[in-house]
Structure 1
């Protein structure tokens, strides 16, 4: 695990000095997977043959002086809803058990250009629907800090793999907190970029107006490196934003003097764990001691965010998942005797309970007679939630609060209570509804030693300020240096 405790730039330096080879990094990744994977269970599919072949190619480039990629030689894990050419992509669903894509997602092309190496595909809640990783059709991923606790979701495999030292970084997707919440639970850094900054082409859609790909790393600096590699306009994605991409690394100055931070009173009300509240407020004092200024504000429509999200996300899921019919790709029911049977039985056998629950909720909300009462009203409330952020950002640079109301809960504790499970995303969901960027960084642990996450939220396309503040906080503390004892 020692190699993966290093910073990205330190590993790059050692590679260029020929103190390390890319093959060494790949060996380290699979060695660690061999040590801990039977307990953590972060992966669904490994790419060992392809990774070692890629390592040999990159080592040749190192010898030829062509090692110029931003992420050169670094082993990465990829959430299993990001399509990878020739490498099984299941979305942790039995319905896609046999699906091998014929093309790469745009982010995979960008990682190839940055010269990283795909180690394997990571476990998740089925079709990204869940907050604990217990909805995977294959197995449950466990939190490396305490194997009796969940790693969070839906990108639980991504966060667990990085926390356990199996890969140097991972990609996840964030629809309502699915990068940030597991990052908080697993004591790593999770960045949800502005909607449209990173291409969604090749991301299997859950809720198209909310989904966003982002990095999971051990440090804020490493998150800046990965974001630099994957951000940018993509003509293959109609929602991709054609904006200039700044040098995110140059933003990591460590200086937050004069930074204006808003602290919503709604983020510290009923339901927040006392240990989480104390850790986040202590983090606020650290930023204040570095020269930032803060003020309590109100974001009055925050209380409606969870209901709004689950109506909109489920409605979009109902539409997006209609393509999985047992005809074009994926698993087809062997019991089907007619065309209707193909549709009904393939979906009934292939989808899990949570996916079915959300499809049914979304179909109901979109149905005749209910569209105006539910879906349309939820869209109007979404506008109000976005307006809350717009008003705050007229005066402030950042919004600060907890990533999740509690640390990681025990496996099975909420699996039969979906409403309680949904409330774990109460602080992360508004960010997706507003389309703004946010990062989760470790800010302490509770009495049981479980990590706690600090969330910093910024203006649209102002990832530089988010990264600057997170990096300054990180440099003033040691929370990100702590590792689970596996």
Structure 2
């Protein structure tokens, strides 16, 4: 009996099958069987009783008696067309679905904190900054410091650009953070910036500042590879909105940086991007090259993206400062789509002040990305943070609970015992690293109290955030539907259980009803997490843990700042970085802390993080590369 999905769903309903998962699983099994080389591809897929049994096992329902299976098959109607008709459209990655996620807890809600913030755009030149005799001594200078020198014409954008290009070329063989140098474009922009500044046509603090783009942002005239095998020569005929806005601000694009293939991890088609503090480690991802290059003093700032940790994780690993803005604050037009309801673009730099200056240039509607909210951004570096209500996630700062391993099985082979003991050793070491790092989190609270900040303990709403992550997988699988169906997913570097090829295939079993239910649960998460920010303005949290997942789902902003270096007594990292741990640590490597804020309260978030960095100076630490 041939089938189409609509007829099959109707037949299942008539047969009393109410599980949302079962029909999709069964249809997929039939469609996969149709792809066999021995099958006539011109005919619709067939379904068998054996397939019903297999689908029932995967769906956790049934088993069905023979008479019910016969009734289901007999009830199928051959309409064969809806899937194929849509697939024939060849929809490009740039086309979003006909729905838009807005994380505001209630329609028409306004940004109270932004309205209260003084309307100061936050930068004026510092005349006390002096130019060194060797321009490379500015490699780790902040955007604000460089801008003061450029404004006063104590240095030129051309000299600064040439210095950063030389460093990119010198250290790329060690750190593998560049996919494409945009040298010709950069030199032309730098010369133009110098001419304009000399003529008194100053565009602002980013004028003449060299920067790098994560290579999921389209730049006309250059490849946009998405870090993935099979896409090495892909290009687009226009610039991403963020690129256009930084061009308008006078910034100088010097390179397109690495990202893990299709925005996962730090492994791309050319290798693995490395951590400047310990090149034996990957830089984490997926904004791998952006964080690594900034930390290595090879660019003044970079643009990264985050769907579920891709700014936070590499900023933590590399000791850079990363701002993941509120969802819908920065337009994603011209950026690779992974998840239309979770993707966010944001700056990675050397300080919270730098992040604010960059965000000021790139935020706001562009008339194309309909998810963008017209929220204000009034950056005021002199904002009195003592007027803010500061909370901290109590669970993140409590003493870690006792670590217990499960009892060994009563019987096991020699090989099973060997694998179990290896896994137990890895878990014990991972636990030791987390316990060591915990002291840095606790020290943050001590420092804030010393700064005169009163801290209020808060708790993250208890919701099944992990169960909502299927939304990301479903959207990503749709974004790369053709990659899976064409078999070109074999060209991607990583092919493991947790990698995109397998995740895209698995996501095809995610039923529409459950996708909608997860979105309804997500609405509860938005409401309940937003309610926390009615009680406090800023929340201090560890950079990993439940908050990372929760706030990416709810769209709340985060600012990740360096929080010191691990000492010589730190537990050793694994001999091999397999990419499984977000922060594998080791002596002399950075740790971070994360500050969270209410939706579109990014300016106050940056002001608070700036005050912390002025009090600690951890963001001024940098690795020794030679």
Shift of 1:351: 7.2
Please tell me whether residue 213 in structure 1 is matched to residue 345 in structure 2. yes
1:252-309 Cα deviation digits (max 9, x unpaired): 226321432222234345668123221122112222222222222222436x323422
Residues 195 and 210 in structure 1, CA contact (< 8 A), matched pair in contact too: yes
Q: Match for residue 434 of structure 1?
A: 554
1:303-342 Cα deviation digits (max 9, x unpaired): x323422x111111011112558xxxxxxxxxxxxxxxxx
Residues 404 and 453 in structure 1, CA contact (< 8 A), matched pair in contact too: no
CA distance in 2, matches of 1:450, 1:121: 26
Q: Match for residue 62 of structure 2?
A: none
Please tell me whether residue 283 in structure 1 is matched to residue 444 in structure 2. yes
Please point out which of 601, 607, 611 is paired with 1:462.
601
Please point out which of 235, 238, 263 is paired with 2:367.
235
C-alpha distance 383-277 of structure 1, shift in aligned 2 (>3 A):
farther
Q: Match for residue 180 of structure 1?
A: 312
CA distance in 2, matches of 1:450, 1:434: 31
Residues 319-468 of structure 1: pairs in structure 2 closer than 5 A: 319-322=478-481, 324=483, 344-349=486-491, 352-353=494-495, 354-366=499-511, 371-372=512-513, 374-404=514-544, 426-446=546-566, 447=570, 448-468=587-607
CA distance in 2, matches of 1:85, 1:462: 33
Structure with the greater alpha carbon radius of gyration = 2
Please tell me whether residue 88 in structure 1 is matched to residue 88 in structure 2. no
Please tell me whether residue 246 in structure 1 is matched to residue 398 in structure 2. no
Residues 144 and 205 in structure 2, CA contact (< 8 A), matched pair in contact too: no
CA distance in 2, matches of 1:216, 1:58: 22
SS in 1 for 2:218: coil
Q: Match for residue 272 of structure 2?
A: 140
CA distance in 2, matches of 1:52, 1:357: 42
Residues 353 and 607 in structure 2, CA contact (< 8 A), matched pair in contact too: no
CA distance in 1, matches of 2:310, 2:506: 20
Shift of 1:441: 0.3
After TM superposition, the score normalised by the length of structure 1 is: 0.85
Q: Match for residue 11 of structure 1?
A: 146
Please tell me whether residue 67 in structure 1 is matched to residue 202 in structure 2. yes
Please point out which of 380, 390, 398 is paired with 1:261.
390
SS in 2 for 1:50: helix
CA distance in 1, matches of 2:142, 2:530: 35
Q: Match for residue 301 of structure 2?
A: 169
C-alpha distance 100-359 of structure 1, shift in aligned 2 (>3 A):
same
CA distance in 2, matches of 1:386, 1:28: 45
Structure 2 gaps, min length 5: 1-135, 402-430, 571-586
Please point out which of 228, 240, 248 is paired with 1:113.
248
1:120-147 Cα deviation digits (max 9, x unpaired): 11111111123xx03x122100000001
Q: Match for residue 329 of structure 2?
A: 197
For structure 1, which segment, 259-268 or 90-99, has the greater mean C-alpha deviation from structure 2 after superposition?
259-268
Moved >3 Å (runs of 4+) = 268-272, 345-352
Residues 93 and 352 in structure 1, CA contact (< 8 A), matched pair in contact too: no
Please point out which of 596, 602, 613 is paired with 1:474.
613
Shift of 1:355: 1.7
C-alpha distance 364-38 of structure 1, shift in aligned 2 (>3 A):
same
Q: Match for residue 421 of structure 1?
A: none
Residues 98-109 of structure 1: pairs in structure 2 closer than 5 A: 98-109=233-244
C-alpha distance 223-57 of structure 1, shift in aligned 2 (>3 A):
same
Q: Match for residue 485 of structure 1?
A: 624
Tell me the matched-pair count: 436
For structure 1, which segment, 55-64 or 293-302, has the greater mean C-alpha deviation from structure 2 after superposition?
293-302
Q: Match for residue 339 of structure 1?
A: none
Shift of 1:481: 1.1
Residues 141 and 300 in structure 2, CA contact (< 8 A), matched pair in contact too: no
Residues 3 and 28 in structure 1, CA contact (< 8 A), matched pair in contact too: no
CA distance in 2, matches of 1:86, 1:345: 28
CA distance in 2, matches of 1:257, 1:17: 34
Shift of 1:469: 1.2
Shift of 1:392: 1.4
Please point out which of 52, 55, 60 is paired with 2:187.
52
Please point out which of 18, 27, 37 is paired with 2:162.
27
Aligned-pair Cα RMSD in Å: 1.9
Structure 1 gaps, min length 5: 326-342, 406-425
Residues 269 and 492 in structure 2, CA contact (< 8 A), matched pair in contact too: no
CA distance in 2, matches of 1:294, 1:237: 38
1:29-63 Cα deviation digits (max 9, x unpaired): 01211321110111111111221122122222222
1:393-440 Cα deviation digits (max 9, x unpaired): 1211112111136xxxxxxxxxxxxxxxxxxxx442211101111100
